[in-house]
């Protein structure tokens, strides 16, 4: 990039400099789908599961699509664990933050909370409460998250399940990230 701003503190910037910064941001936003697809490809690596993390995401999305979920929900199913690439300790929050400007409040909430809701299936093995998700029982999206985990996420570690390839979902990913991002400040 040849053009650079002159300021060293934001309080000293001029409008034209912010125009340059925002143009750069727009160019990066235009490449978001490519970046996300690259991050998914990274998930093809070694895994303690019988399938890779990518295969888990593809299987989750395949199940969602075969159950008749809308395209946005299918992409959320595909990307629900994308946070593992950047922040395994809080992958749900990272995935939700990535998706938030592009998806409904419901899908954002489901992705944000799916990690906690998945605990229903394994927390008892560590002497913790598998029903810890129930603190959200009165939330309007509680059941959607329960269903997401029960029907698509927790059961998607099967090496014999006929799963669609990433190329099948690529148009959906590109369409989602082609949307004008919502203001989330």
Which one has a higher pLDDT value, 180 or 134? 134
Report the greatest alpha carbon distance in the chain: 59
For tokens 């888990």, the residue is: 56
CB atoms within 10 A of CB 157: 15
- Alpha-carbon 92 to chain mean position: 7
pLDDT digits (tens, 9 = 90+) for 8-67: 999 999 998 888 888 888 888 888 999 999 999 999 989 999 999 999 999 999 999 999
Q: Which of 43-47, 121-125, 132-136 has the lowest mean pLDDT?
A: 43-47
Is residue 126 over pLDDT 60?
yes
For each of the domains in the chain, give its residue range(s) and CATH number, in order of start.
Answer: 12-178 (1.10.3210.10)
Residue 185 has a pLDDT of 56
pLDDT digits (tens, 9 = 90+) for 79-107: 999 999 999 999 999 999 999 999 999 99
pLDDT digits (tens, 9 = 90+) for 65-83: 999 999 999 999 999 999 9
| Separation between Cα atoms, residue 83 and residue 174, nearest integer Å | 18
* Terminal C-alpha separation, the chain: 27
């Amino acid at each position: 990039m040849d053009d650079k701003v002159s300021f060293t503190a934001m309080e000293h910037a001029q409008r034209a400099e912010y125009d340059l910064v925002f143009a750069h941001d727009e160019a990066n936003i235009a490449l978001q789908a490519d970046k996300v697809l690259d991050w998914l490809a990274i998930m093809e690596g070694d895994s303690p599961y019988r399938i890779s993390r990518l295969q888990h995401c593809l299987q989750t999305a395949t199940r969602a699509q075969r159950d008749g979920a809308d395209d946005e929900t299918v992409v959320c199913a595909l990307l629900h664990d994308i946070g593992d690439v950047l922040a395994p300790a809080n992958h749900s929050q990272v995935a939700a933050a990535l998706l938030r400007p592009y998806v409904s409040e419901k899908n954002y909430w489901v992705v944000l909370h799916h990690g906690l809701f998945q605990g229903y299936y394994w927390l008892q093995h560590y002497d913790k409460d598998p029903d810890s998700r129930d603190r959200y029982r009165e939330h309007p999206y509680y059941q959607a998250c329960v269903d997401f985990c029960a029907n698509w996420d927790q059961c998607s570690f099967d090496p014999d399940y006929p799963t669609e390839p990433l190329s099948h979902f690529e148009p959906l990913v590109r369409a989602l990230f082609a949307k004008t991002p919502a203001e989330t400040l």
